[in-house]
Amino acid sequence: MLFVLVMSGCSTNEESKKEEAGTEKVELTISAAASLQDAINEIKTAYEKENSNVKINLNFGASGALQQQISKGAPVDLFFSAAEDKFDQLVDEKLIEKDKGIDLLGNEIVLVVPQDSDQSIKEFEDLPKAKKIAIGTPETVPAGQYGKEMLENLGVWKDSEEKVVYAKDVRQVLTYVETENVDAGIVYKTDALTSEKVKITATASEDTHTPIIYPVGVIKESSHLEEANDFYEYLQTEKAMEIFVKYGFADIN
């Protein structure tokens, strides 16, 4: 009987070790555009509840800066960009396989001013009246790139350029407006909707800038391809899309 109990204990310990090994925690690193912060944080929470063995680490920033990090070998499993050109560069560099990427979301560019502003800045054409205007650095921040393109097409960039304060990402632009360090800022609609300290006074017409598209894809050299692919698929589910839409993104998939 003692022999049976000992063998039974050994068997139980072995099974326990196997179970522990099978549920070993996997950590994924997701590099995503700063404008996705609120939506992705909510999706991360929902996903981790359903997949207890996966821990998601989020790295937010300007899409251009994130793309450069990945190009230089940063250990990232999935890239969620706010601009196609930054994403396509990684595809061209063979760091993302074309069939492991998809154009998932759309957005809009808006003009915001402090909530209690008494400035007469109602349209983009009014920006030359401002003392300071915040936009993301066009070379690395897609919202800044779209914003500059739009102002050029409206014919007001030259009269506004010397008043521009450049920011590292759209969230910094929003902060500058919220704290009234600038008279106005150009951000995504989704960012503007997260703040009660700013108000939207104008929305850019779609024909004034390149279409705003958010592609997402799995990094080819991911250390956890199976889990990365699973999260990539999860981002396309109805549950995830409901969250994106709630934060003001357009479903273009």
Residue numbers belonging to the annotated binding site for molybdate: 35, 63, 143, 170, 188
Alpha-carbon span 57 to 29, nearest angstrom: 5
What's the pLDDT score for residue 23? 63
Q: Which of 2-11, 112-121, 200-209 has the highest mean pLDDT?
A: 200-209
Alpha-carbon span 187 to 110, nearest angstrom: 6
What's the pLDDT score for residue 156? 97
57-71 residue pLDDT tens: 999 999 999 999 999
Angle ∠(44,45,50) on CA atoms, nearest 5 = 95
pLDDT band at 185 (very low <50, low <70, confident <90, very high): very high
Dihedral of CA atoms 141, 235, 223, 88 in degrees, nearest 10, equals -40
Give the mean model confidence (pLDDT) for residues 109-126. 94
The CA distances from residue 237 to 40, 82, 200, 231, 234, in Å, are 13, 19, 30, 10, 5
Tell me: pLDDT of 118 over 50: yes
What's the pLDDT score for residue 5? 42
Give the mean model confidence (pLDDT) for residues 149-162. 97
For the chain, the domains span 2-106+213-251, 109-208
Tell me: pLDDT of 236 over 60: yes
User: Do 2-106+213-251 and 109-208 show the same overall fold?
Assistant: yes
Q: How far apart are the first and last CA of the chain?
A: 63
Residue numbers belonging to the annotated binding site: 35, 63, 143, 170, 188
**DSSP assignment letter at 182:** S
Give the mean model confidence (pLDDT) for residues 71-96. 96
Give the mean model confidence (pLDDT) for residues 191-197. 94
- CATH for the stretch 2-106+213-251: 3.40.190.10
Name the CATH superfamily for 109-208: Periplasmic binding protein-like II (3.40.190.10)
pTM of the model: 0.83
